[in-house]
Chain A
Amino acid sequence: MDNILVTKEVTKQYGKHTALNGVSLEIPKNSIYGLLGPNGAGKTTLIRIINQITYPDKGEVYFDGELLKPKHISLIGYLPEERGLYKGMKVGEQALYLAQLKGLGKAEAKKRLKFWFDKFDIGDWWNKKVQELSKGMAQKIQFIVTILHEPKLLIFDEPFSGFDPINANIIKDEIIQLKENGTSIIFSTHRMESVEELCEYIALIHQSEKILDGKLSDIKKAYKNNMFKVGLHAQDVNALLNVISNKFNILEPVIDPLENQLDFTIQIPIEDSRDFLAYLASQSNIYQFSEIIPSANEIFIQSIQDKDANE
């Protein structure tokens, strides 16, 4: 089996509201998987089903090839979007409690906590009360608690909200390290740009349904349409613009007479860009020529528009 988690036609209803409608996903082992979609799309419901907080009305979930059961709880680590800690409880005690609930023995939990507290250089927080910590500090504790029992699958719901950029980077590095060590990771977020660079696979969820899923690079390939961004240098940029626009259909031309620059985007009819590049080279100096790869966000908007158009 090379999927850590598979959902088959998972459907969940709350009264008359359908939170998930026949969602099937395959999450490969040892990968970072982005579960993307706007607020209220059904991501959190799906995650809660994976964590066995709630149960699907229809459909099955398989963990590492087996039907999901309570015994799998200790193999999953979950950092929910709505996360917090007991305010009046001491940091160390609380971390120990949460680790024990995940099935770790007290001594082992203590040892591992010491390691992580030292790693994050927060050893002196052990006897502090949570209410003395800042939000970012509390998030670090939550992160440690989530990964402490070394789960096979980690699920982060909106992981970077509440972190300042420096701490967000520390956490990002730790997550990449965990992936290198063999953990599978699910990111759930509505801010797609925040996880795009990390995810190898994504699934887009919109209005309780899966719209699109697969390897991010494949999806991008499918959604790119030979759009290029071009930047040229010339003595007379106006004349150059005239010449080129007579021959090609160029978009969003921008002229900068002071720097003698002309920028525009263009869609080339064929895959092969060599002829067009040769033509440009014959006309002027090229300082920029790059293919425009759509962002996950753009793909998402595009795919929703396509879907609506089809209906």
Chain B
Amino acid sequence: MNKLPIIIKREYLAKVRNKSFVIMTFLSPILMVGMIVLIAYLTKINDNEKRIIGIFNESDYFSNDFNTTESTSYVHFKDVTLQLAKDSTAKMGYYGLLHIPHEDELEKVADHSYFYTKEAPSTSVLDKLEDVFQARLRERRLQNMGVSSKEFAMMDKRYEINTETFGGEQNLKGINEIKAIIGGGFGYLIMMFIIIYGGFVMRSVIEEKTSRIIEVIISSVKPFQLMMGKIIGTSLAGITQFAIWIVSASILLMIAFAIFDIDPATLGDGANVPGIAGNMASPVPTPNQTIQAYAQELYKIPWAMLICFFVVYFILGYLIYSSIYAAIGAAVDNETDTQQFIFPIILPLMLAIYVGFFSVFSNPHGPIAVGFSLFPLTSPIVMLMRLPGGIGEGGVPVWELVTSLILLILTFLGIVWFAAKIYRVGILMYGKKPTYKELFKWIKY
């Protein structure tokens, strides 16, 4: 009878029934959604704070420029001294006082205007005031030069170079970054999964050692079976947890946004994607068309292929790392001894993420991106960042993908063999903290 399913079942149930695991599973989405809602809510409140600003305008200009808006209202002082205006602004608790003196020329007026506040004013307030002056000044200067504002608008039109692939498809600015972010999301998911659930595997091995049940079990099953059962059981528990997180977090988010009346778009994609954000801010002729083009481009990303490779890289990458975690757990007696061994395995993961974000974003097919997407300890993350660009022409060359997979599979076999050796010897060793040298000796036992 095959005992692997029995082991997997126990490991899965032991993990899933664990109190802290259950609490984490159900609390995390609530905490996460709570945080998001809180941030969104606070941002909203912050925006809603109404500032009152005093205007003491002695000049002939700006009489119609400071109009009360949703976030700022203006109180106009007339026929008072500057000192009185300042004092009353302070007394009334207004945010500040803008003094525009009387001068015969706009440039001079602007030069001699002051904004008085209790403390250093916020830049957003200053920006608003400065914008008003800027607009007036520009108008005046253009007038002096004899240019109409219509002519200026034409002059000011932003230029963008047209790009196209050799195949004749239109390229969009920033699309590489968007694709890399999508791939990076997958890569990041793999890294988090490895660190969280690899750690679970390790702790579970240590628990079996410290509770001394290990010898009872391996007199019935092979250590390798136990190790694989543990890894598979723990990852199934992890997948369960992730699924619960994703489903419950999205439901909670929808409910929360409905209750607090927050528009998800204000937090959404736009802010995160530099390409889109940049384009929306500057007056591109038809922003709608651009967004549509991006949507089309996103639609063109080969999702099915991407998800397939995500699953492949995820499984292989996770198995490699979690068997190393299992071997570490077997080699030590308690968790405090694990640090010196854990750092070297977290290093390639971190490297993959950072190299991915810095190098793959700017140049998905450059030498560094290619190198790290072939190196088996980083390829699960880096290759996934490159894959949204497609396979073959214009994307990842087929030979690179195949080489990367072959290297990954070979490494997988090697590492699991190596880890199983250390595991087999380590679980029966008590009371000493091994060195790397000893670990290599164990392989020969």
Which residues of A are in contact with B by a Cβ distance under 8 Å?
14-15, 48, 51-54, 70, 73, 76, 78-80, 82-89, 97-98, 100-103, 142, 145
Candidates A48, A84, A101; contact of B3 at CB < 8 Å: A101
Chain A hits for B1, CB < 8 A: 103
Query: Within the complex, what minimum Cβ distance (angstroms) separates B292 from chain A?
Result: 55
Q: Provide the main secondary structure of the chain A interface.
A: loop
Can you list 29 A-B pairs, Cβ within 8 angstroms, ordered by A? A15-B445, A51-B219, A53-B215, A73-B220, A76-B219, A78-B219, A82-B430, A83-B213, A83-B215, A83-B216, A84-B211, A84-B212, A84-B213, A84-B216, A86-B14, A86-B211, A87-B207, A89-B14, A97-B10, A98-B216, A98-B220, A100-B3, A101-B6, A101-B7, A101-B217, A103-B1, A103-B3, A142-B216, A145-B216
* B441 sits at the interface (CB 8 A): yes
CA–CA, A176 and B272, complex, Å? 75
Most chain A CB within a 10 A radius of its CB, from B212, B219, B428? B219
Most chain A CB within a 10 A radius of its CB, from B18, B216, B222, B223? B216
Q: Are A53 and B218 in contact (CB under 8 A)?
A: yes
Most chain A CB within a 10 A radius of its CB, from B7, B207, B211, B441? B211
Q: Are A97 and B212 in contact (CB under 8 A)?
A: no
Q: Are A101 and B14 in contact (CB under 8 A)?
A: no
Chain B hits for A48, CB < 8 A: 428
Chain A hits for B428, CB < 8 A: 48, 53-54
Q: Are B213 and A86 in contact (CB under 8 A)?
A: yes
Q: Name the interface residues of B1-40: CB closer than 8 Å to any CB of A.
A: 1, 3, 6-7, 10, 14, 18
Given contacts A53-B428, A97-B6, A97-B10, whether A73 and B216 have CB atoms under 8 Å apart is no
CA–CA, A53 and B218, complex, Å? 6
Question: Which interface class (under 10, 10 to 19, 20 to 34, 35 or more) fits B?
Answer: 20 to 34
* B221 sits at the interface (CB 8 A): yes
Chain B hits for A98, CB < 8 A: 216-217, 220
Which residues of B are in contact with A by a Cβ distance under 8 Å?
1, 3, 6-7, 10, 14, 18, 207-208, 211-213, 215-223, 428, 430, 441, 444-445
Chain B hits for A85, CB < 8 A: 211, 213, 216
CA–CA, A73 and B218, complex, Å? 10
Chain B hits for A53, CB < 8 A: 215, 218-219, 223, 428
Chain B hits for A54, CB < 8 A: 428, 445
Q: Are A73 and B212 in contact (CB under 8 A)?
A: no
Q: Are A101 and B215 in contact (CB under 8 A)?
A: no
Query: Within the complex, what minimum Cβ distance (angstroms) separates B370 from chain A?
Result: 42
Apart from A54-B428, A86-B211: 4 A-B pairs, beta carbons within 8 A: A51-B219, A78-B215, A78-B219, A145-B216
Q: Are B215 and A73 in contact (CB under 8 A)?
A: no
Q: Which residue of B lies closest to A145 (CB)?
A: B216
CA–CA, A83 and B211, complex, Å? 8
Q: Are B211 and A73 in contact (CB under 8 A)?
A: no
Given contacts A88-B14, A88-B18, A101-B6, whether A83 and B212 have CB atoms under 8 Å apart is yes
Query: Within the complex, what minimum Cβ distance (angstroms) separates A100 from chain B?
Result: 5
CA–CA, A106 and B106, complex, Å? 93
Most chain A CB within a 10 A radius of its CB, from B220, B222, B445? B220
Chain B hits for A88, CB < 8 A: 14, 18
CA–CA, A127 and B151, complex, Å? 86
Query: Within the complex, what minimum Cβ distance (angstroms) separates B435 from chain A?
Result: 13
Q: Which residue of A lies closest to B5 (CB)?
A: A100
Given contacts A15-B441, A89-B14, whether A80 and B215 have CB atoms under 8 Å apart is yes
Chain A hits for B215, CB < 8 A: 53, 78, 80, 82-83
Most chain B CB within a 10 A radius of its CB, from A15, A48, A89, A101? A101
CA–CA, A88 and B217, complex, Å? 16
Chain A hits for B445, CB < 8 A: 14-15, 54
CA–CA, A65 and B221, complex, Å? 23
Q: Are A80 and B216 in contact (CB under 8 A)?
A: yes
Q: Which residue of A lies closest to B211 (CB)?
A: A84
Query: Within the complex, what minimum Cβ distance (angstroms) separates B52 from chain A?
Result: 62
Query: Within the complex, what minimum Cβ distance (angstroms) separates B22 from chain A?
Result: 13
Chain A hits for B212, CB < 8 A: 80, 82-84
CA–CA, A76 and B220, complex, Å? 9
Q: Which residue of A lies closest to B3 (CB)?
A: A101
Chain A hits for B441, CB < 8 A: 15
Chain A hits for B217, CB < 8 A: 98, 101
Chain B hits for A76, CB < 8 A: 219
Chain B hits for A51, CB < 8 A: 219
Q: Which residue of B lies closest to A104 (CB)?
A: B1
CA–CA, A102 and B441, complex, Å? 31
Q: Are A101 and B211 in contact (CB under 8 A)?
A: no
Q: Which residue of B lies closest to A103 (CB)?
A: B1
Query: Within the complex, what minimum Cβ distance (angstroms) separates A279 from chain B?
Result: 59
Chain A hits for B430, CB < 8 A: 82
Chain A hits for B444, CB < 8 A: 15
The 10 closest A-B pairs by CB, nearest first: A84-B212, A101-B220, A80-B215, A84-B211, A78-B219, A51-B219, A82-B212, A84-B213, A100-B6, A102-B220
Query: Within the complex, what minimum Cβ distance (angstroms) separates B1 from chain A?
Result: 6
Candidates A80, A84, A87; contact of B219 at CB < 8 Å: A80
Chain A hits for B10, CB < 8 A: 97
Query: Within the complex, what minimum Cβ distance (angstroms) separates B304 from chain A?
Result: 40
Chain B hits for A79, CB < 8 A: 216
Chain B hits for A86, CB < 8 A: 14, 207-208, 211, 213
Query: Within the complex, what minimum Cβ distance (angstroms) separates B49 from chain A?
Result: 51
Query: Within the complex, what minimum Cβ distance (angstroms) separates B430 from chain A?
Result: 7
Query: Within the complex, what minimum Cβ distance (angstroms) separates B221 from chain A?
Result: 6
Query: Within the complex, what minimum Cβ distance (angstroms) separates A123 from chain B?
Result: 22
Query: Within the complex, what minimum Cβ distance (angstroms) separates A82 from chain B?
Result: 5
CA–CA, A87 and B14, complex, Å? 11
Q: Which residue of A lies closest to B7 (CB)?
A: A101
Chain B hits for A15, CB < 8 A: 441, 444-445
Query: Within the complex, what minimum Cβ distance (angstroms) separates A24 from chain B?
Result: 23
Q: Are A101 and B213 in contact (CB under 8 A)?
A: no
Query: Within the complex, what minimum Cβ distance (angstroms) separates A84 from chain B?
Result: 3
Q: Which residue of B lies closest to A157 (CB)?
A: B215
Q: Are A73 and B18 in contact (CB under 8 A)?
A: no
